[in-house]
Amino acid sequence: MFPLQRGRRLRVNESIRSLVRETSLSPSDFMFPMFIAEGENYKVEIASMPGIFRRSIDLTVKEIHELFDLGIRAVNIYVKVSENLKDNTGLEAWNPNGLMQNAIRAIKAACPEMIVMPDVALDPYSIYGHDGIIANGDIENDSTNAALVKMAVSHAQAGADFVAPSDMMDGRVLRLREGLDAAGFHNVGIMSYSAKYASAFYGPFRDALDSAPVDATEIPKDKKTYQMDYANRIEAIKEALWDVEEGADMVMVKPGIAYLDIVREVKNAVNVPVTVYHVSGEYAMIKAAAERGWLDHDKIMMEQLMCIKRAGASLISTYFAKEAAILLNK
């Protein structure tokens, strides 16, 4: 009770503030999303994501070494698939010599200690831009799961440490766990996108992979039949608990900053690490505002990352990973 208790005594200077700080960040808290393209010595900046590039495998490996030297220990990887390899079945997704599989092998060969978590979803391989196989105007859940199992096993065979299903099909974690175990990959983990919302924050990501749903009358115009309604909170807890019961080793909440209430709810409900995806739209907004001089880029970046960690994240997948690690190392 005042005047015996004065909260400001613990805020007098930075040394005292650092002594009592409840949350801290380190480079090992970050996972860096990477976009991989065909070719050699290829690097193209994504217009809506300044500072983020599509890279060929050789340049991706070079970047992996830089990330590891900064203290970043995990990457989640996505591939931009050639149009002629896309169909409605996802066949290219489990090609043992596909772009994703070759990228996994190259990264693990160059930097074995880097944890590689490839994306498991059909949208980069789909002529429709959806995360599943379409039949009779609907995204088929169970046939999609069967395709995802083939995809995940091919990633494990290439050397993936975790597979990261981002599709939001019902029951896919169980099917993936069964499929990986049957193939002998008991130690390959599953980081499930458990509470992935149908969000408008994903626009720049879809630019990066050219994976937005196509506009056609015979198919769903968006992903709202499988991604979650952003009005819902309890549903996120339910989805996360289901995934843990089905064998998920980590669960993810996506997006990040606009969903910190969900992060805390999920953290309180599950007994596995919670990953948060600080998504492309959240990244692009900071970059755009900073370019106009409206915000201090580094201060806002670090504040948002700290807030995600404070909310309960064990791991943050963020396009700021490299920039933040450089600041933290200084």
* pLDDT for the residue numbered 211: 66
Tell me the DSSP string of 154-166: HHHHHT-SEEEE-
* pLDDT for the residue numbered 203: 85
* pLDDT for the residue numbered 204: 87
189: tokens are 């983990």
Residue 207 pLDDT exceeds 90: no
Task: Say how far apart CA 176 and CA 191 lie, in whole Å.
Answer: 11
Q: Which residues are catalytic?
A: 196, 254
Q: Is 239 annotated as a binding residue?
A: yes
* pLDDT for the residue numbered 149: 98
Q: What is the pLDDT of residues 43-77, one digit of tens each?
A: 999 999 999 999 999 999 999 999 999 999 999 99
Task: Say how far apart CA 252 and CA 266 lie, in whole Å.
Answer: 9
Of 223, 216, 302, 229, the closest CA to residue 262 belongs to 229
Task: Say how far apart CA 142 and CA 163 lie, in whole Å.
Answer: 19
Share of the chain above pLDDT 90, in %: 92
Domains of the chain: 24-250 (3.20.20.70)
pTM of the model: 0.95
Among the listed ranges 99-103, 125-129, 208-212, which one has the minimum average pLDDT value?
208-212
Residue 217 pLDDT exceeds 80: no
Residue 212 pLDDT exceeds 80: no
Segment 233-261 mean pLDDT: 98
* pLDDT for the residue numbered 191: 98
Residue 302 pLDDT exceeds 70: yes
Amino acid type, 64: I
Phi, psi of 33 (to 5 degrees): -75, 135
Task: Say how far apart CA 295 and CA 285 lie, in whole Å.
Answer: 10
Q: What is the pLDDT of residues 160-171, one digit of tens each?
A: 999 999 999 999
Phi, psi of 195 (to 5 degrees): -120, 80
Task: Say how far apart CA 312 and CA 29 lie, in whole Å.
Answer: 12
90: alpha, beta or left? (left if phi > 0; alpha if psi -120 to 50): left
Segment 18-46 mean pLDDT: 97
Residue 281 pLDDT exceeds 80: yes
Segment 249-271 mean pLDDT: 97
* pLDDT for the residue numbered 219: 84
Q: What is the pLDDT of residues 72-91, one digit of tens each?
A: 999 999 999 999 999 999 99
The CA R_g of the chain, rounded to the nearest whole Å, is 20
* pLDDT for the residue numbered 205: 85
